[in-house]
Amino acid sequence: MKPTYVVAISGASGVIYGVRLLKALVQTPCRVILMVSQGGFRVLAHEMGFTPEKDLQQFLVNQGVVCHSQSAIEIFCETDYAVSPASGSFVHSGMVIVPCSMKSLAAIATGYADNLISRSADVCLKERRPLILVPRETPLSLIHLENMTRACRAGATILPPSPSFYAAPATVEALVDTITARILDHLNVRHDLVPRWCHGTT
């Protein structure tokens, strides 16, 4: 049975990470349930040129998100409360919020499940399913740090988008891939996006 992944794009800078993750996931046989917040749509428009009047599925194809013959993406907005991941009875292979806004982080850390994204994350925590948060903010206030700690203690993985440079990435896309690769690792998805660090001995 092919895996199902839940991906959410919230209203923080760095939506390129979410789009790149989608591209990597659907190159393998899988089902992806994509959730986009109202803020996420606004950032997609500002940072990647998405026009709200156009079809998001086609926009993703134009960004190189082309599905494997056995893959599919289902798209929902944050007000679609009845979607499967909002129920604890729905089993999936992990959820990623990328980028994760401080608002979404605060909702998750405090159990304030007021939309599809925060409710689905809340379900991951209570059902002990993988939940990866990619928080995009700097600098971080004490409130942000405490919310990350609270979410981590509840079972979430906090994966800040801090690109690595040991492979000498030459493009923005290559930098983005260093984060996408770490997300895929935590989802147990095999990939060859970036070389593994292997320090030789003398």
Which residues are documented as binding site for dimethylallyl phosphate? 166, 182
Place of tokens 């040991």: 166
Residue of 34, 158, 36, 182 whose CA lies nearest to 108: 158
C-alpha 143/C-alpha 121 separation (Å) is 19
| Maximum distance among all Cα pairs of the chain, rounded to whole angstroms | 59
Residue 50 amino acid letter:
F
Binding site residues for FMN, as ranges? 11-13, 37, 101-104, 136
Annotated binding residues, as ranges? Answer: 11-13, 37, 101-104, 136, 166, 182
Q: Are 178 and 163 in contact (CB under 8 A)?
A: yes
Neighbours of 75 (CB within 10 A): 14
How far apart are the C-alpha atoms of 7 and 35, rounded to whole Å? 6
